[in-house]
Structure 1
Amino acid sequence: MKRSVIALISGLFFGLGMNISGMVYPEKVLGFLNLFSGAWDPSLIFVIGGALLVFAPFYHLVIKKRSQSLCGDAMCLPHSKQIDKPLVYGAVIFGLGWGLIGICPGPALAGLMSFESELFFFVAAMFAGNYLASLWQKRANVEVNRI
């Protein structure tokens, strides 16, 4: 029960922040990504900066020093700093998808409450892509560094 309540509260904060900032709207994100149009929208920088201002102190002062999460699970922080081919390829594919339509996975999930059909198609395609990537990784015996 505790895990569900913490997940619910975290999700509500995330979704509320994404909606208030307007980052669930593709045109807002595309405005940030379009540097050369003369109508560049830097607001995404402030959203990311605000998130980092809240997250960074907690990470260094609290999270990094804990052995368990609030739910009692072991803290699983990444140890690898290696930049490998799967990371680069995944980042490029993610960036292409984000740049083509202006929708990022987190805000897409938060934006589902708007009941816009394009977000439902995007989320369905996102899950299908995730599934296909896992099949490819199993078939190619690709070792993926999991958190």
Structure 2
Amino acid sequence: MRGFFAFVAGGLFGAGLMISGMTNTQKVQGWLDIFGDWDPTLAFVMGGAILPMMLAWRLTRGRNPALGGMFPPRPEQRVGHNLVIGSALFGAGWGLVGLCPGPSVASLSYGGIGGLVFIIAMAAGMRIAPAFKTRLDAIARPT
């Protein structure tokens, strides 16, 4: 039953990404081109994600999910080197390709070879990221 609900939720998420334009690389790059031909419509997508999530954090505090497991803890609100470097890499990839992880998976059904290459590169980056994080943490640790 849990797998069924995960499938339905994933399908709704993917459909929402496609309807909102998050899988359209030209639309995403238009959003990021603030000094050129800027397309502000994705601000509604972001607002449509941030506001419900803010409400969800409040409503789920101290509760357990209906389908088992636990809700993730609230993210740490400290700005450190991991956040800055990770955000810069994420933003660079998003700007160059016009896709982020969720929409890239959704675009596999029609994205062609470019989408597949992006997924492979993203998976490789996820695989080597822990080693880089360990190294950065060692460098940043005060001696």
Q: Scaled by the length of structure 1, what TM-score is found?
A: 0.83
The 1:33/1:141 distance shift into structure 2, 3 A limit, reads closer
Aligned to 1:49: 47
Q: Distance in 2 between matches of 1:110 and 1:26?
A: 12
- The answer to whether 1:102 aligns with 2:98 is yes
The 1:141/1:41 distance shift into structure 2, 3 A limit, reads closer
Q: Which runs of 5+ in 1 are unaligned?
A: none
Q: 1:69-88 counterparts in 2 under 5 A?
A: 69-78=65-74, 80-88=76-84
Indicate the percent of aligned positions where both proteins have the same amino acid. 36
Q: Distance in 2 between matches of 1:43 and 1:118?
A: 25
Aligned to 2:141: none
Q: Which runs of 5+ in 2 are unaligned?
A: 139-143
Residue aligned with 1:81, SS: coil
Higher relative contact order (CA 8 A, sep 6+): 1
Q: 1:65 aligns with which of 62, 66, 69?
A: 62
Q: Distance in 2 between matches of 1:115 and 1:83?
A: 35
Alignment root-mean-square deviation, CA: 1.9
Residue aligned with 1:24, SS: coil
Aligned to 1:118: 114
Q: Distance in 2 between matches of 1:30 and 1:111?
A: 15
- The answer to whether 1:30 aligns with 2:29 is yes
Q: Which structure 1 residue ranges, 4+ long, deviate > 3 Å from structure 2?
A: none
Residue aligned with 2:69, SS: coil
* Cα deviation, residue 10, structure 1: 1.6
* Cα deviation, residue 50, structure 1: 1.6
Count how many residue pairs are aligned between Structure 1 and Structure 2: 138
Q: 1:6-21 counterparts in 2 under 5 A?
A: 6-21=5-20
Q: Distance in 2 between matches of 1:34 and 1:19?
A: 20
The 1:54/1:78 distance shift into structure 2, 3 A limit, reads closer
Q: Scaled by the length of structure 2, what TM-score is found?
A: 0.85
Q: 1:135 aligns with which of 115, 119, 131?
A: 131
* Cα deviation, residue 84, structure 1: 1.3
AA partner of residue 23 (structure 2): V
**How big is each residue's C-alpha offset from its partner over 1:43-67, in whole Å with a ceiling of 9 and x where there is no partner?**
1101111223433323312x2231x
